A = this chain, B = another copy of it.
């Protein structure tokens, strides 16, 4: 008999990686939501339990519910699903909380239905959850949550996702200063035009970053983790950003930037020891300023969402 229930882990993700604004994301190994998805005879999607965060459980107001409905709408399955969500990722922290729940739901449903949908279709369903969460159906958290590793959204029309292997010693440190920034606000302050000169710098750096990842050239990764366009504007919303960044780099990080639309700040390091030193340096700033924080030190997750 085929499984009628799956217990899964769906990873947190860093999107908008420096020069990879809107196109490059990566999955984390040690932070993510746990979910139980149950295939049931009753039609529709029900969120039967939600722990860890205060979030809506009405299907059409819950990102996993909306993503699941998108899948059901394209499926010839005439039953339904129940979803239990155990949030380990804080909503609004900037490490793909909504993407984890959306992606986990549609991945598990597809598994329970015998994988009728290819991965790219699952990305599209999960993007409907992102649309609910932020008003924009972006793919740069969903794609790494699904595929693991780094993922490049080469194009939205048509949707084209390129999984990029992660060098084996790459670790991430993420600090979440507990202040609130709404994604819509942090999008609003961006300029709609940029100079061609800044654009050239940005695509030069993104090319360098992709090359560094694929050639396992950690120094090149570090030199390429530069953002001339978004970080100078958005970092104003994150108290202590410049100091966190400079201290992270002094502690040995390859590079450092804003995770998603913030307020979390990520740094990449070569090896776990350095990633831990970087965590200590980042913490030091928020202890001094007196802002509460969470900090995660994680290897890059290379498999994406998985059963537990």
Interface size class of A (residues with CB under 8 A): 35 or more
In this assembly, does A40 line the interface, its C-beta being within 8 Å of a C-beta of chain B? Answer: no
Q: What distance in Å separates the Cβ of A33 from its nearest Cβ neighbour in chain B?
A: 27
The A87-121 residues at the B interface (CB cut-off 8 A) are none
Partner of A196, one of B193, B201, B204: B193
Indicate whether A208 sits within 8 Å of B22 (C-beta atoms), given known contacts A199-B202, A203-B202, A220-B162.
Answer: no
In this assembly, does A195 line the interface, its C-beta being within 8 Å of a C-beta of chain B? Answer: yes
Whether A199 pairs with B229 at a CB distance below 8 angstroms is yes
Whether A211 pairs with B162 at a CB distance below 8 angstroms is yes
CB-defined contacts of A214 to chain B, threshold 8 Å: 210-211, 214-215
In this assembly, does A287 line the interface, its C-beta being within 8 Å of a C-beta of chain B? Answer: no
Whether A204 pairs with B164 at a CB distance below 8 angstroms is no
Q: Which of A20, A21, A154, A162 has the most CB of B within 10 A?
A: A154
Partner of A206, one of B206, B223, B226: B206
Partner of A164, one of B195, B197, B211: B211
CB-defined contacts of A160 to chain B, threshold 8 Å: 208, 223
Whether A154 pairs with B204 at a CB distance below 8 angstroms is yes
CA distance A91 to B202 in the complex (A): 31
CB-defined contacts of A209 to chain B, threshold 8 Å: 207
Indicate whether A208 sits within 8 Å of B162 (C-beta atoms), given known contacts A193-B195, A194-B196, A203-B203.
Answer: yes
In this assembly, does A136 line the interface, its C-beta being within 8 Å of a C-beta of chain B? Answer: no
* Nearest neighbor of A191 in chain B, beta-carbon distance: B196
CB-defined contacts of A223 to chain B, threshold 8 Å: 154-155, 160
Q: What distance in Å separates the Cβ of A206 from its nearest Cβ neighbour in chain B?
A: 4
CA distance A176 to B131 in the complex (A): 47
CB-defined contacts of A192 to chain B, threshold 8 Å: 195-197
In this assembly, does A24 line the interface, its C-beta being within 8 Å of a C-beta of chain B? Answer: yes
* Nearest neighbor of A198 in chain B, beta-carbon distance: B199
CB-defined contacts of A200 to chain B, threshold 8 Å: 21-23
Partner of A207, one of B24, B196, B199: B24
Q: Which of A23, A190, A197, A199 has the most CB of B within 10 A?
A: A199
Q: What distance in Å separates the Cβ of A2 from its nearest Cβ neighbour in chain B?
A: 34
Indicate whether A155 sits within 8 Å of B201 (C-beta atoms), given known contacts A211-B164, A214-B214.
Answer: yes
Whether A203 pairs with B23 at a CB distance below 8 angstroms is yes
Partner of A162, one of B154, B191, B195, B207: B207
Q: What distance in Å separates the Cβ of A99 from its nearest Cβ neighbour in chain B?
A: 18
CA distance A201 to B152 in the complex (A): 11
The A195-239 residues at the B interface (CB cut-off 8 A) are 195-197, 199-211, 214-215, 220, 223-224, 226, 229
| A-B residue pairs, 4 tightest by C-beta | A154-B208, A203-B203, A23-B204, A203-B206
Chain A to chain B contacts (Cβ below 8 Å), 18 pairs: A19-B203, A22-B200, A23-B203, A23-B207, A152-B208, A154-B207, A154-B208, A154-B220, A190-B196, A192-B197, A194-B195, A194-B199, A196-B229, A199-B202, A203-B203, A203-B206, A207-B209, A214-B214
